[in-house]
Amino acid sequence: IVLMKHTAITHRRNKMARARKYLSNSDSDSAGSFQEVKERSKNNKEDFHKLTETKENEDSQSRQHIKFNIKRKSLVFAYLFWLIGGFGGLHHFYLGRINQGFVWWTTGGGFVIGVIVDLFKMKDYLSEANLESGFVRRHLYQVKNYDQPDFDSVRFISMMSVGMLYGYLVQFSVPENCFNLNRNEHRLLWVILVPLAIAFGNYLVGNIGYVKVKFAWCFAGAIVPSCFIALNPDVTGYAALFATTIGYWKREFRKGVLQSKISIFKYIIIFSGVLFYVLMWVSMFYYNVSVTTKIGERYYLRDLVKPYFRRNVTYEEAFSKFSEDMNRAWSEIRKEVYSLQILEDTESYRVLGLDWGATERQVTERYRMLAKQYHPDKTSPDKALEHNTKMVDITRAYEVLVKKKRHSNKHSEL
């Protein structure tokens, strides 16, 4: 909120300064006789027309030069790639938006919301990729008249979300017994790796399109809170917020033209990033994901899946064993849920003072009697708090039992 207010105030001050400068120039030009003002206005119009023609010629030459180097993209193919691989950012790779394509691939299409938004913003992406005259004029006007791009809340939230995702992924993917480190040394390793991951996520999202943020500022914002990650692992979220705030505060306009053609070097970088991202997920599930039983025994996921990948076990045997284990697990889960429901029903009968299996009518009559007895408005002030708590328990027990009775009656009628 402070950053948004600061950006709005700075933007308003810049506009007021430009307006005062324009008015001062206009006041100085207004001196002189009417004939001089008329003659000066005529000369200004001629100069303006000459300048406009020159600018139009330069823009047309530059656009011809740009179109010569950049192959135009098709809206039909963009929507086709969105339909085929929208969650993997395939349409962004086609339009040359490599950063956004990689972010879409790692976040499942921008946490699903981004894919839906792309359906309505595809024409804007296409005009930016083809460097159409309208987009070029708007971008050049902003670069000329503004010191930095306007504050975009969507980009700010996206930078923080992606940075937080990458930070937590690195934090959970580092093996606990890495390099034979103890618990404290293992957490100190987070102080180095987690800020790098957060800054990388902020850098990817912040440099989408013609906006530019620097990796150094994002890393500087992430490294300060991350120093406390050895004491509290939940600091990663605050580190992502600090990194996004400082990195986006120092945003700039991108100079030059984005190349929509992906070179071999970029393909190597994309493949390396994809491979590293997959390896982090594999490392997290193989080394750090575990299951703790009721008696406190801890089993790692890698130990639980090893019986399915033994050399003397065929694919059919492994699949059948996996199916049996899954059925057994679901049956245990159902038993646990059913036992919790039984405990809830037993507690409800106890609160109302009824025997197990009482009818709905008996439950209702008992509830009305207890409600009159423990109603807070009909008790003395010194017992109001106690009766209020008792009334809450009675109401909850009544709702649980009546809902279950009506549900069972409905099924018996069917």
Tell me the pLDDT of the chain (414 aa) as tens digits: 555 555 666 666 666 665 555 555 544 444 444 445 445 544 544 544 444 445 445 445 444 444 445 678 899 999 999 999 999 999 999 998 999 999 999 999 999 999 999 999 999 999 888 888 888 888 888 888 888 898 999 999 999 999 999 999 998 888 876 656 666 677 777 888 899 999 999 999 999 988 999 999 999 999 988 878 767 777 888 999 999 999 999 999 987 666 656 678 878 888 888 999 999 999 888 888 887 766 677 778 777 777 766 666 677 777 777 788 777 777 777 666 655 666 667 777 888 888 777 788 888 888 888 888 887 777 777 777 777 888 888 888 888 778 777 766 654 544
How many residues does this entry show for the chain? 414
Question: What is the sign of the dihedral through the CA atoms of 295, 297, 298 and 302?
Answer: negative
Residue 70, pLDDT score: 62
Residue 117, pLDDT score: 93
In this prediction the pTM is 0.65
Residues 6+ apart with CB under 8 A from 11: 146, 150
Residue 247, pLDDT score: 93
Pairing label, strands 252-253, 298-300? unpaired
Report the DSSP beta bridge partners of residue 211. 253
> Residue 298 — φ and ψ, nearest 5°?
-110, 125
Strands of 183-269 (E only): list them.
211-212, 252-253
Tell me which residue has tokens 């103890």: 182
Cα–Cα distance measured from residue 394 to residue 402, given in angstroms and rounded to the nearest whole number: 12
Residue 207, pLDDT score: 93
> Residue 335 — φ and ψ, nearest 5°?
-65, -40
Residue 381, pLDDT score: 73
Strands of 153-307 (E only): list them.
211-212, 252-253, 290-292, 298-300
Residue 294, pLDDT score: 66
* CA dist 395 → 366, 368, 387, 388 (Å): 11, 10, 12, 11
Percent of the chain's residues with pLDDT above 70: 71
Report the DSSP beta bridge partners of residue 291. 299
As a whole number of Å, the end-to-end CA separation of the chain is 56
Query: Among residues 262, 152, 297, 265, which one has the least CA distance to residue 210?
Result: 152
Residue 8, pLDDT score: 61
Residues 6+ apart with CB under 8 A from 77: 94
